[in-house]
Amino acid sequence: MLQLDPILDFRLQTGTKGVPPSGDGIALRDVGAQGWRLLDGSIPLPAAVLRASALQQNLTAFQTYIDQAGVKLAPHGKTSMCPQLFDRQLRAGAWGMTVATYAQACTALRYGVTNLMIANELVGETEIRALAQVTDARILSLVDSVAGVERLENILAGTARPFEVLVELGIDGGRTGARGAETALAIARRVAASPVLSLAGVEGYEGLIVTGDAKADAVRVDAFLNDLLHVFATGRDEGLFAGAPILSAGGSAYFDLVARGLKTEGVTTILRSGCYLTHDTGFYKRLLDHVGERAVLGPAPALKPALEVWAQVVSRPEPGLILINAGRRDLSDDSGLPKVETWTRPGKGAAPQAVSDWQFYRMNDQHGYVRVPEAAQVAVGDYVSLSISHPCTTFDRWPLLLEVDDDYRVIGALRTFF
Amino acid sequence: MLQLDPILDFRLQTGTKGVPPSGDGIALRDVGAQGWRLLDGSIPLPAAVLRASALQQNLTAFQTYIDQAGVKLAPHGKTSMCPQLFDRQLRAGAWGMTVATYAQACTALRYGVTNLMIANELVGETEIRALAQVTDARILSLVDSVAGVERLENILAGTARPFEVLVELGIDGGRTGARGAETALAIARRVAASPVLSLAGVEGYEGLIVTGDAKADAVRVDAFLNDLLHVFATGRDEGLFAGAPILSAGGSAYFDLVARGLKTEGVTTILRSGCYLTHDTGFYKRLLDHVGERAVLGPAPALKPALEVWAQVVSRPEPGLILINAGRRDLSDDSGLPKVETWTRPGKGAAPQAVSDWQFYRMNDQHGYVRVPEAAQVAVGDYVSLSISHPCTTFDRWPLLLEVDDDYRVIGALRTFF
């Protein structure tokens, strides 16, 4: 579906994390034929791996859920910035892709995305002019102020093809987005009257409503979705939309509520979920548990954590402390620290053993600190696997991820573009 | 000094942050000839810039300080992972380079570093075998346990050339490194007796002793340096070292104390300072202030912050709040949040104005939140510059940085390898 040859032809280079000495100069498309096995010591650690079976399950389970809900998915590509994964998301049935920035849009367009939502207001003159010249893709972006609309108009003055934007409704005290329905509607009217812009729909982002009180959060999310619907319905009544209108919200944290709340007759409702693809064992796991408890559209999709970081023990300087060779540059901590899931000694017959009482408690740039039971038999050179919380800020620490089967044989490699 | 042609021949691609539409396909060596100016809107934001004048001042001031102290510098390359900067550090007089990991070592070796310290114990079998085959560079790495020594010996059994290691002394409750002088000496003796290893010296890392009480910290650092010297002197008395011995410590936070404490007749004392090159306005600024107050080797070197991230205002949804298009993926917060330094409206005649009362208080992945005075005239599309705290975790968010002169003309580009 996408044009991935330039990525598959890319030649690996030692110096990139996860590339073994024998991988220097190997084309990415040939990685799966090398016979590398993570557990036998073929791969320098730290390395980030994606479990193929979990990826496939997540792709299918989430798209099925979306299809059954009668809405569309434009997965947020900023999570992985991996066109090879974009391709799988589109093949699984996604309507298009979402990105956050101009640079990310360039990557999506380079590899052939044809329906692209940029979930921000474009403000850079050079970038806006460049995107306005794209003819082989539909590009949607946001506006959240009359000043922003006027800025776009000034930059685009004289262009023939209308530039499609959605008006963004925000939340008081929140991030971007017009504050209040009346402000949003004033912007929508301004866009509708513009000679160079066209109003494609209404957009909001509910994903920052996470206080830890799931029930109260759900009430707030529903209220916000109602506000979005109100702006949308008023805009439709006033005839502000050009063509078939779009209603869009985030859908990573509350995809059930968004799908239920925004599904509307004659409207393309687009969710921009990003983290379903790899899921996690922290922040998004908790949110998925709440989706299951609410069961507003039936059971939650069965998502499995697909992204693991493997590291090697470099020191056990005290009986209850090991240091591993993965730190801030390999793992995120913005939504919770990683968890040590398994431990093994690399070599023939290595079999990861689950550990539950090891505590990853601190990171420096290149080291992780793990408290272990003094009786644990872990030694320098052993491997540990870590699960993560918040895929986005783990992906962006890895220019290359290895795809593995359930026995940790390396069956491919994936490039990211951050 | 290094072989940078493969980097200079690299062709930029839109999709990489900081590359404008007109930069697609331009060779990196030609960036300075493009006439790009940050302030006129040529460059998509966010972009990371290095100020050439500050870089040059830091290179000279720090190397002069090191030379006058009578010690050597192997700058920690993990800070920037930028061979173009390694080259400048070596040309300025550095003895060699330091890295933290096997992957980083591969990058340093690929571009021609010939004196390389890997400031960790090597534990990966594949990696150790590969590095043992390198003949055109001197590679030093660490050991901090007899188990680690035996692991190296097993992997290297039968190799002809001795593999050089330094024994690492640690700190109780700290990171890696043998706990206590006696443990370190036992490891040193084991190395000296090894058929495949040779003991090159003694090493420690004092940089984690930062509690906020600068005077107490300095006392602890001096005590640790004394312990290092004790291990070293005993090892020398016992004839454990092969050839001219090396004494090494960190030297980013306490380079004055390390240079004073470890300078020893007949010994190569190596500091591994990393952050002097770009300096910062947060964590390392505070530590440099303490160096100046202590004045143990005269005044502190005059370091200037060289690394800035520029971002654009994407929304002002409330009078006292702006959102900028730089977030966690562009800026670090592990050692303090970035600070907004200047504000300007891009275009001809744009002149950054210093701001002091704008508060950068939160980041999401792709957004920064800044509180501004309600009377501030800042508008959507305006530019802000941010200074940073902790260069390492800002560099690693930028595959490409732009080098600018004092008028923010783009005079070159620098690639990093994370």
Residues in chain B closer than 8 A to A16 (CB atoms): 103, 417
pLDDT 10s digits, B64-118 = 999 999 999 999 999 999 999 999 999 999 999 999 999 999 999 999 999 999 9
Cα distance between residue A195 and residue A174, in whole Å: 31
pLDDT band at B161 (very low <50, low <70, confident <90, very high): confident
pTM to 2 decimal places: 0.97
Check residue A151 and give its pLDDT: 95
Nearest CB to B126; choose among A20, A121, A129: A20
Which chain A residue is nearest to residue B129, measuring alpha carbons? Answer: A21
Task: Determine the average pLDDT of the residues in B133-146.
Answer: 97
The owner of tokens 């590899």 is: A111
CATH of segment(s) B70-273: 3.20.20.10
Check residue B212 and give its pLDDT: 85
Which chain B residue is nearest to residue A108, measuring alpha carbons? Answer: B15
Chain-centre distance for alpha carbon B71: 19
Contact A417 B15 (CB under 8 A): yes
CB B188 within 8 A of CB B240: yes
Contact B123 A397 (CB under 8 A): no
Q: Is B112 exposed, middle or buried (0-12, 13-18, 19+ CB in 10 A)?
A: middle
Contact A103 B44 (CB under 8 A): yes
Which chain A residue is nearest to residue B367, measuring alpha carbons? Answer: A175
Residues in chain A closer than 8 A to B399 (CB atoms): 399, 418
Q: What is the mean pLDDT of each run of 10 residues along chain A (418 residues)?
A: 97 98 98 97 96 98 98 98 98 98 98 98 96 97 96 93 96 96 98 97 96 94 98 98 96 96 96 97 96 97 98 98 98 97 95 96 98 97 98 98 98 98
Residues in chain A closer than 8 A to B395 (CB atoms): none
Which chain A residue is nearest to residue B123, measuring alpha carbons? Answer: A381
CB A254 within 8 A of CB A221: yes
pLDDT 10s digits, B167-182 = 999 999 999 999 999 9
CB A81 within 8 A of CB A395: yes
Nearest CB to B380; choose among A102, A151, A315: A151
A:B CB pairs within 8 Å: 201
Q: What is the DSSP letter of B96?
A: -
Residues in chain A closer than 8 A to B364 (CB atoms): 175, 208
Cα distance between residue B98 and residue A348, in whole Å: 34
pLDDT 10s digits, B368-417 = 999 999 999 999 999 999 999 999 999 999 999 999 999 999 999 999 99
- SS3 for chain A, per residue? CCCCHHHHCCECCECECCCCHHHCCCEHHHHHHCCCEHHHCCCCCCEEEEEHHHHHHHHHHHHHHHHHHCCEECCECCCCCCHHHHHHHHHCCCCCEEECCHHHHHHHHHCCCCEEEEEEECCCHHHHHHHHCCCCCEEEEEECCHHHHHHHHHHHCCCCCCEEEEEEECCCCCCCCECCHHHHHHHHHHHHCCCCEEEEEEEECCCCCCCCCHHHHHHHHHHHHHHHHHHHHHHHHCCCCCCCCEEEECCCCCHHHHHHHHCCCCCEEEECCCCCCCCCCCHHHHHHHHHHHHCECECCCCCCCCEEEEEEEEEEEECCEEEECCCCCCCCCECECCEEEEEECCCCCCCCEECCCCEEEEECCCCEEEECCCCCCCCCCCEEEEECCCCHHHHCCCCEEEEECCCCEEEEEEECCC
Contact B380 A147 (CB under 8 A): yes
Which chain B residue is nearest to residue A362, measuring alpha carbons? Answer: B175
ipTM passes above 0.90: yes
Average per-residue pLDDT in chain B? 97
DSSP string, B183-217: HHHHHHHHHHT-SSEEEEEEEE--TT---S-HHHH
| Class of B5-52+304-415 in CATH | mainly beta
Decide whether A5-52+304-415 matches A70-273 in CATH topology: no
Query: Domain locations in chain B?
Result: 5-52+304-415, 70-273
Residues in chain A closer than 8 A to B15 (CB atoms): 103-104, 106-107, 110, 417
pLDDT band at B363 (very low <50, low <70, confident <90, very high): very high
Residues in chain B closer than 8 A to A42 (CB atoms): 126
Nearest CB to B366; choose among A100, A173, A179: A100
pLDDT 10s digits, B259-314 = 999 999 999 999 999 999 999 999 999 999 999 999 999 999 999 999 999 999 99
Contact A393 B329 (CB under 8 A): yes
Give the three-state DSSP class for B228: helix
Which chain A residue is nearest to residue B382, measuring alpha carbons? Answer: A123
Check residue B252 and give its pLDDT: 92
Check residue B160 and give its pLDDT: 82
| Token duo for residue B76 | 């920690």
